Amino acid sequence: MSAAAQRHDVRARLYLRIEQDGLTGFGEVAPQPFALNGDPSIDEVLEELDRVTMPQLLEVAAREGTLPSWTRLARFAGSRAASSFSVALIEMALLDLDLRLSGAVISSLWPKNFDTPNQTTVSILNLDEWSIANDAARVRVKTMPGKLDQRALDLLSELVVPILLDFNCSASRDEQVLEQVEQISHVVTIDAVEQPYAPGNVIDHATLAEQLSVPLSLDEGVRSPRDLEQIVRYSAAKIVCLKPPRVGGLANTRTMAQRAAALGLEPYVGGFFESPYARRVHRLLANNCISQPSDIADVAVQRDHQFGELERVAGGFEVEPSSELLDGAEVIAAWP
């Protein structure tokens, strides 16, 4: 899939397995191949994990005689973007482990409050890969400035659900966005325009929002509760995308979803092309606190294997990455 500044083919995924008392917890994040728009590369996440976050975790465990609760992991995050991803990876594994050690399942912690609809993603930058999931309640359409050709407009006109028009920080002038919105609005319903300008640029987003006939959504520009406050202060957006690795994990995602709603924003859960394992975890979280269509369906990727990626287990998230998947994975690091 093509975005404005990157192509997504097969995404590398980082799995973390934490063992204690004969039980196991699993975490997963799927960083980008290289740093872009404020998000870290996979190499940066690995370096952060090895040099900072895991040593910090092991130090706490040695001092206290046990692994810390998953609820404490958000406090481990530093100011670097890679720190949020590494903390999110460990937090998910510790949550899974905590639940299994207590014989509990995730629904006891996050009861289901919503049937969160699925959002799917396509790109008008590569129409040969256009594929819409049957259960999609909304489609995120990746784009970049420029007039669309007739084939793209024809495909958009076939959609029966609304779209998020995602510029991935590629616009430089309001006119570039306004012209494409005007062109597309005649053939498809636009729920929002997403992240035309750089992360943190609330001023230009606010100026554009005043001219648009549809709401603005921010994605790369949403990393902390302070970002939510700034968005509301400047009226820079109506919709916000919360990606658990980007905001520092599951606990932060849930807290920010509640804060966003209290501020009058519409939050949804976004994704980084995770496997069915992390997508299931994000779906369970979204069902607890998100009503907006979210990126919580399994991502279709090219595979060279025939086995399933998930196995049923008792406790925790009630699934884990399959043994066949893990047996075929490269072990990058191991800690005592």
The whole-model pTM stands at 0.94
The 3-state DSSP class for residue 31 equals coil
**Which pLDDT value is given to residue 10?**
62
Q: How many CA atoms lie within 13 A of 275 on its CB side?
A: 20
Partners of 166 in the beta sheet? 142, 194
Q: pLDDT digit of tens for each residue in the chain (336 aa)?
A: 556 555 555 678 999 999 999 999 999 999 999 999 999 999 999 999 999 999 999 999 999 999 999 999 999 999 999 999 999 999 999 999 999 999 999 999 999 999 999 999 999 998 888 889 889 999 999 999 999 999 999 999 999 999 999 999 999 999 999 999 999 999 999 999 999 999 999 999 999 999 999 999 999 999 999 999 999 999 999 999 999 999 999 999 999 999 999 999 999 999 998 999 999 999 999 999 999 999 999 764 445 544 578 999 999 999 999 999 999 899 998 888
Longest C-alpha distance within the chain, in Å?
64
- Topology classification of domain 14-106: Enolase-like; domain 1 (3.30.390)
**Which pLDDT value is given to residue 302?**
44
Q: Where are the domains of the chain?
A: 14-106, 118-289
- Sequence-separated (6 or more) residues with CB below 8 Å from residue 17: 24, 25, 26, 93, 326
Instruction: Tell me how far CA of residue 33 lies from CA of 44, 51, 175, 202, 272, in angstroms.
Output: 10, 20, 31, 27, 11
Task: Note whether 240 and 228 are within 8 A (CB).
Answer: yes
Closest to 153 in 3D by CA, of 183, 132, 123: 183
Write 158-163 long-range contacts (CB < 8 A, 24+). 159/132, 159/188, 161/136, 161/137, 161/189, 162/138, 162/188, 162/189, 162/190, 162/191, 163/138, 163/139, 163/188, 163/189, 163/190, 163/191
Cα–Cα distance measured from residue 293 to residue 17, given in angstroms and rounded to the nearest whole number:
30
Q: Does domain 118-289 bear CATH number 3.20.20.120?
A: yes
